[in-house]
Copies of this chain bind each other. A is one copy, B any other.
């Protein structure tokens, strides 16, 4: 059988087919060229990229989300403390120390996950294997919401960095956000397989420049006598309108926790590493967490010494904390703009992390039947484009609703991430518990991780509930319910489709074939020949659309032509000719009288089904389309939609 053909021969066939298709169709060629230029040429299955990476490429590929968070995490904490004025700086250390400690615990926990799941340790998989499907669905919902929020936060923070550097762009914040989103989405529809350097360059530039800036600042703080040397002074902090209290610190901590979103990325993509997988993954995770920890601690320390506070992104003159930091240390020269450009790139690309993770997650969930099948289908570029499009639309919606302002999105952000952390850690605890051998210390680390993330989750929920976290608290169970409903639908559909018992052959008599007939032409000739090859019962049906004064005259002409040119010659050859029937369509919907006719035939000839054959003109050029109605297509669509159980619809294409 065909299946045994060698792959090489298939490839050859495919190339021939492609050439043939282009010539025969005509239409395809010029359109495809533009389309291909934007979205890239179609890829074959065997081109599915299995390019494996080491830790040096792993840091940009999986660390962007985590590293980018360093720019908005501390800023989010400081923004909460704006009402405290200058006192905020005295306390920022008390907020960031637990954040960095939590990061360390997460680092240790995820090292365990990588060891246990060296192919794919995403929260959905870990939860499904250890906590059952309900835990997995909860993780899926939390992760999906987290991915969407990460797109919105990454892009809005990136645009915030841009408008800090070029204040004239500040009024266009939302449009810039949507533009970046569109660019990232398009790049992902093409597929980002070859984008290694594009990711690596800004990532390492970002790490180097900001670590250097922080190092210089710390040196100056340590060695300068009196106040440190400042090139461009940060704007003065506002007057304190509120004292620093427990509640403010808790809320600041909750905001600062957004700096940890993205740490789980390595565990999701372990299978992308080359051998030895676990060591490469551990090295990547280490670099990301150490750099992130240094950045968080450094920013908090320097902010205090230099007096850097958060500002309101909606007001003109907004400067992000990272921009104030770079300006204070290096002035607005080349270094400043290089650092800010790398930050912009890292943040925009951190949105890309979602575009990699979200479609993969959706594919896994769709394969289990909890999301529409379209999410599991690879498109012409082998991208799961349904996921990419869904993410673009929802991310864009969030940006529009929240006006592209990072600060408004932050309260929603950490919930999903920390819920994911918690479920993943709990899953790991169960995993080690089931594992034989000496895994107690591993279980202990994951249990510590689970405990701390649960506590943090409760703190974040309490601190941010009214600021917007309630939206996520509502959205997660609704999403889970949606996933379950989808699965139930597919189950019911599968039950309805299931064929009971063995195949039985009945109604094997050839059907009555009705041919949609306007007037005689090469096209209807072919259609009649097809119909006569299928059955002896062929009826040419001419539908009268408009009640025209000349109608009777027309009817006579059509009848006479059919009689003389079709019926009589066939009778002469001893072949039973098709009948001609003229049917009025009083409301110009030609499928109605056709279906009426089918119903009559069904009643008159039980055991014999009916086929309607529609000749369809296939055009050579795209510009011909407006010159022809889509009547054949419309008739077919209407017939399919209203067809009874014993009707089939046949198209006979005729290339003009």
Contact = CB atoms under 8 A, between A and B. Distances in A.
Interface of A: 1-3, 5, 7, 10-11, 13-14, 16-18, 20-21, 24-25, 27-28, 42-46, 48, 372-374, 377-378, 380, 486, 489-490, 493, 496-499, 502-511, 520-526, 528-530, 532-535, 544, 546-547, 555, 564-566, 568-570, 573, 575, 580-584, 586-589, 592-593, 595-597, 609, 611, 613, 616, 618, 624, 626-629, 636, 639-645, 647-653, 655-656
6 contacts: A2-B597, A21-B595, A372-B628, A503-B520, A503-B525, A640-B651
A14 B546 CA distance: 15
B546 A533 contact: no
A363 to B, nearest CB: 12
A295 B11 CA distance: 79
A42 B499 contact: no
A592 B17 contact: yes
A526 B645 CA distance: 9
Contacts of A507: 529, 533
B497 A521 contact: yes
A597 B609 CA distance: 28
A653 to B, nearest CB: 4
A588 to B, nearest CB: 7
A2 B586 contact: no
A377 B547 CA distance: 13
A399 to B, nearest CB: 23
B641 A647 contact: no
A522 B546 contact: no
Given A525-B503, A640-B651, A533 B520 contact: no
Contact of A378 (B10, B25, B586, B588): B588
Given A2-B583, A372-B626, 20 more contacts: A3-B582, A7-B584, A10-B584, A14-B587, A14-B592, A17-B596, A18-B592, A42-B587, A46-B547, A378-B546, A497-B522, A497-B656, A504-B569, A505-B575, A534-B534, A613-B648, A618-B643, A640-B651, A648-B652, A649-B650
A639 B48 CA distance: 26
A653 B640 contact: yes
Contact of A629 (B374, B502, B534): B374
Given A25-B642, A374-B626, A651-B636, A503 B530 contact: no
A652 B509 CA distance: 16
A382 to B, nearest CB: 8
B656 A496 contact: yes
A308 to B, nearest CB: 42
Contacts of A648: 530, 613, 650-653
Query: How many identical chains are in the complex?
Result: 2
Contacts of A642: 20-21, 24-25
B490 A627 contact: yes
Contacts of A613: 648
Contacts of A616: 640
A611 B535 CA distance: 14
A508 B533 contact: yes
Q: Identify the 6 closest CB pairs spanning chains A and B, nearest first.
A: A3-B582, A502-B569, A497-B521, A503-B566, A643-B653, A45-B547
A197 to B, nearest CB: 28
A587 B640 contact: no
Nearest to A503: B566
A560 to B, nearest CB: 13
Contacts of A649: 650-651, 653
Contact of A609 (B24, B533, B609): B533
A22 to B, nearest CB: 10
A13 B521 contact: no
A277 to B, nearest CB: 19
Best-surrounded residue of A11, A24, A523, A587 (most CB of chain B within 10 A)? A587
A653 B642 CA distance: 9
Contacts of A511: 530, 533-534
Contacts of A497: 521-523, 656
A39 to B, nearest CB: 15
Given A373-B629, A503-B525, A533-B508, A11 B586 contact: yes
Contacts of A42: 587, 589
Contacts of A626: 372, 374
A650 B44 CA distance: 28
B503 A570 contact: yes
A2 B486 CA distance: 47
B529 A508 contact: yes
A28 B21 CA distance: 36
A302 to B, nearest CB: 48
Contacts of A506: 529
